[in-house]
Structure formats: structure tokens, C-alpha cells
Amino acid sequence: MTVVLVCGVAGAGKSTHARRLEASGFARLSFDEVAWDAGHREHPLPDDVALAIHEDLRARMLALVGEGRDVVVDTSFWSRASRDRYRSWLAEVDVVPVVHHVVAPREVVLARLAARRGAGPHDVVVPPALAERYLVGFEVPTPDEGPLELVPTA
């Protein structure tokens, strides 16, 4: 059984990668889809809302792992602390996740974000100033955290 944590800045192509894994048999859990379904159309979400969504994903992820399913979790995992939180949850059931760091050139990320129109959970509008904050604040995963694969996108 494999659990993949899909990590990257907004606009890098995380959801596209997660859907490819889903097509190969993984159960896909998406932070943005849960938020959208709950009526949240702007990011970043308030801390209490984000925490509740992560708790929901935790419960669903652990249930799927308990069924022996491969799982992909699609959220930014922008900080090491966020990745470590999921690692600690999975350690309780003796699973070591693999981080897939989806990497796209800065200009590609900014162009993708500029093209967003708010039409769905993977099209949430990210204003330029917020996009810059996301790029600057992103904590790049490193091999010392555990299994890591780089996933380049165009």
C-alpha cells in the first residue's frame, strides 16, 4: 500500500498529477474539493476551517489505508510542519508516505494562476500579491524528511 502526499505551490500542477494517480487506482483526497464543497471560494482559508478540512482528510485517509487502498492526498503541503503532521498520522498505522513534489517554473505558475476565473475547486482565483506570498513562503521538501520524488511539469 502506498500513500502519496502531493506537494507544491498553487498552480504547479498538483491536482493534475493527483488525478493521474487516481486513474492508476489510487483513492484521491483533495483539500480544495472539500473546501469548495463547503462553500469556500477564497484562499487562504481561516485557520479553523483549514484545520477542520485536514481532520476530515485525516479520517478519510486512515479509513482508506485501513481498507488497504493506495491513497493520494492533494493539498499544497507548503510547510514541512504540514507534511510532518500527515507523516505522524500515518506512522500510527505503520505507513511511511512518499512526497511527490510537483515543480513548475515560476513563470508557468504565475501564468496559470493569472488565468484562473473561480469556476471550480482547482480554479480558485489567486491574486498576484498572494501568488508571490505563496512562492516565497513555500518550504521545499528535502530528502531528510523521508521518501521524496520530484515531479516536473511544463
- Map out the domains of the chain as residue ranges: 3-152
Q: Report residue 95 as a C-alpha cell.
A: 505507513
Digit-coded pLDDT (tens) for 130-139:
999 999 999 9
pLDDT band at 2 (very low <50, low <70, confident <90, very high): very high
**Residue 87: C-alpha distances to residues 78, 81, 98, 144, 147 (Å):** 14, 10, 9, 13, 11
Q: Give the pTM.
A: 0.96
pLDDT band at 9 (very low <50, low <70, confident <90, very high): very high
Q: For 5-102, where are the alpha helices, taking DSSP H only? A: 14-23, 31-37, 47-66, 80-91
Cis peptide before 44 (omega within 30 of 0): yes
Query: Is the per-residue pLDDT at 63 higher than 90?
Result: yes
User: Using alpha carbons only, what angle is made at residue 134 by residues 24 and 91, rounded to the nearest 5 degrees?
Assistant: 50
- Tracing cell 520530484 back to the chain, one arrives at 150
Instruction: Give the whole-angstrom CA distance, residue 97 versus residue 5.
Output: 7
Please give the average per-residue pLDDT across 81-98, as a whole number. Answer: 98
Fold of the CATH domain 3-152: Rossmann fold (3.40.50)
Is 121 within 8 Å of 35 (Cβ atoms)? yes
The pair phi, psi for residue 110, each rounded to 5°, is -65, -40
CA 55, chain centre distance (Å)? 14
User: What stretch of H or E contains 142?
Assistant: none
